[in-house]
A and B are shown apart, each in its own frame.
Chain A
Amino acid sequence: MTWIKDFAKASYGIYAGNTIDAFQPLDFFHFFGLWYDLWLIEVLKAFDKLDVDKKHYKDLKHLLPMPSNMRAILIKAIPSYVGAGKKNKEVYRRFTNFKARMLQEACIEDPFGKYSTPLHRREEVEQIMKTILWRTATESDARVLGKLITAAASIVHGLYNDVVTDFGWDAYGPYHKHRAGKNLTLLIRDFPDLQPHPLWPKELMPEIKKFQIYQLFEKVEWEISCVGCHTILKSGNPISGLRYFAVIADGKPLTLEEIKKLTFHLATKAESLYKEIRKKDFEELKLMVMWQECYQLKALLEAAGMDWRPTAEMLDAIKNQPLQTGVLPHGVMMTSLDQYMKEFHLETFEKEVLKN
Chain B
Amino acid sequence: MNKLMLKGLPASNGIIEGIAKVFLPGDDAKEFPQDAIMVTTLTDPTMVMAMMKASAIVTDMGGITSHPAILSREMGIPCIVNTKLGTKLIKDGQRIKVDAITGEIYDLD
Contacts and interface: CB of A to CB of B under 8 A. Distances in A.
Interface residues of B, number: 28
B73 interface: yes
A155 B71 CA distance: 13
B49 interface: yes
A274 interface: yes
B80 interface: no
A150 B71 contact: yes
B30 to A, nearest CB: 11
B76 A146 contact: yes
A113 interface: no
A170 B45 CA distance: 18
B52 A150 contact: yes
A263 B71 CA distance: 14
B63 interface: yes
B29 A22 contact: no
Interface residues of A, number: 42
A147 B63 contact: no
Nearest to A153: B71
Nearest to A18: B63
B96 interface: no
Contacts of B62: 18, 22
A143 interface: yes
Contact of A150 (B44, B66, B75): B75
A229 B74 CA distance: 11
A17 B48 contact: no
B52 A151 contact: yes
Contact of B45 (A147, A155, A229): A155
Nearest to A229: B70
A150 B45 CA distance: 9
A218 interface: no
A79 to B, nearest CB: 18
B88 to A, nearest CB: 17
B66 A151 contact: no
A274 B9 contact: no
B2 interface: no
A22 B26 contact: no
B64 interface: yes
5 contacts: A17-B64, A19-B61, A153-B71, A230-B65, A233-B12
Interface of A: 13-19, 21-22, 24, 142-143, 145-147, 149-151, 153-155, 157-158, 225, 229-233, 237-239, 263, 267-268, 270-271, 273-275, 278, 333
